[in-house]
Amino acid sequence: MNLPFCSSIQVVVFVVTFILALIAGPILIPALTRLKFGQTVRDDGPASHFKKTGTPTIGGLIFLIPILLVGAYYSRIYPEIKPLVLVTLGFGLIGFIDDFIKVIKKRKDGLYANQKTILQLIVAAVFAVYISRFTDVGSNIVIPYVDITVAPWMFIAFTVILLYATANAVNITDGLDGLAAGVTLIVMVFFTIVAMTRNEWDYIKVFSASIAGGCLGFLAFNSHPARVFMGDTGSLALGGALGAIAIMMRMPLILLVVGGIYVVETLSVIIQVSSYKLRGKRVFKMAPLHHHFELSGWKETKVVTVFYIMTAVLCFIGLLLLRIRFF
């Protein structure tokens, strides 16, 4: 399908969210610093990261607040945007609680794993049941060149698993300055372009453009050397939003392609842990994968740049799979 002439709404939304994030940064970063919401760096991490200790975290609020404000405003025009706004808020709140416990209660791991998992599954389940029963999304899953319908309970289960996996995959990817925000920016531009091809996806076009704009604004403060980190507040919110968008577009499997960086980052952790438990040996110098490359001699900025390029290539492949042409 040919891409229609670019309407102005997604451009306006992108620019507005970008500007709001630029405004929020200078307000929130000093506030987070005064509150001593500083990041604790892993003792076993790359030595180059030790200097990042104390850098303000919970910076995901810089883009999360503008995204939620823009989403709430456009929900008057596009009521279908409300589930996307609420699932982003839900995952963001879980991340905020986790970050709060880490920096205020001084509990290194934040929420206990079972607590975090249960909360995420609850948010994901509420979203899955709602869109399955109260929207026209139905239980369709699009595979390139195929459109299949599964039983509602299977769709709900699949949605819950995907949301949980995506949220945590973005969280795992958030380990270098600008990495998670930049990769998500590129993927959100992809979904904005795809949403432009169908009128019934106008609300998705608006929401994905707002996330892209928020991520770009955040990069003004998070690119190397980072003045602030997004924390779980930002990474879980971005992951939840990303998974929800893919589900509502009936394209969760396309997410595995365009979000390939999230996939390999997560797999690197699974492989590393499994190998150590089963064989007593590590496959990578350190997991997630971005730390392996750092310990192999790559500069942090090089790892981030290569991951950006790979994401852009994967998004182009995604457009080809969906037969979207610009001319």
Q: Where are the alpha helices (DSSP H) in 143-230?
A: 152-173, 179-195, 202-222
What number is the average pLDDT over the span 13-24? 98
- Dist CA 87 CA 8 (whole Å): 26
The closest alpha carbon to 3, from 192, 143, 171, 139, belongs to 192
The residues that bridge with 148 in the sheet, in sequence order, are 141
CA distance 261 to 25: 27
Q: How far apart are the first and last CA of the chain?
A: 9
Q: Are strands 146-149 and 140-143 parallel, antiparallel or unpaired?
A: antiparallel
What DSSP assignment string belongs to 238-292?
Answer: HHHHHHHHHHHTT-HHHHHHHTHHHHHHHHHHHHHHHHHHHHS--SSSSSSHHHH
> Is pLDDT of 143 > 70?
no
At 51-70, the pLDDT tens digits run 667 789 999 999 999 999 99
Q: Which residue is listed with tokens 């595995």?
A: 256
- Residue 285 confidence (pLDDT): 93
Sequence-distant (6+) residues with CB within 8 A of 257 are: 314, 317, 318, 321
Residue 71 lies in a domain: yes
- Domain annotation covers residue 235: yes
CA atoms within 13 A on the CB side of 132: 20
Mean model confidence pLDDT for the chain: 90
Please state whether the peptide bond connecting residue 288 to the residue before it is cis, i.e. omega within 30 degrees of 0: yes
The pLDDT confidence band at residue 231, using thresholds 50, 70 and 90, is very high
Whether 326 is in a domain gets the answer no
Is the per-residue pLDDT at 164 higher than 70? yes
Task: Provide the token pair at 287.
Answer: 């997991």
282-297 mean pLDDT: 94
Number of structural domains found in the chain: 1
Gap between the Cα atoms of 84 and 89, Å rounded: 9
Report if residue 3 sits inside a domain: no
The answer to which of 19-28, 59-68, 109-118, 317-326 has the lowest mean pLDDT is 317-326
**pLDDT tens profile 236-287:** 999 999 999 999 998 888 999 999 999 999 999 999 999 999 998 999 999 9
Q: How many CB atoms lie within 10 A of CB 80?
A: 20
Which residue range(s) make up the domain with 15?
Answer: 9-321
For residues 180-195, average pLDDT: 97
One-letter amino acid identity for 277? Answer: K
- Which residues make Cβ contacts (< 8 Å) with residue 123, sequence separation at least 6? 87, 90, 91, 94, 163, 240
The reply to whether 85 falls in a domain is: yes
pLDDT of residue 109: 75
**What's the pLDDT band for 124 if we cut at 50, 70, 90?**
very high
How far apart are alpha carbons 307 and 303 in whole angstroms?
Answer: 6
231 and 33 in contact (C-beta within 8 Å)?
no
As a whole number of angstroms, the distance between CA 270 and CA 58 comes to 26
R_g of the chain computed on alpha carbons: 19
Report the SS3 class of residue 202.
helix
Domain contains 52 = yes
- pTM equals 0.93
- On whether residue 226 sits in a domain, the answer given is yes
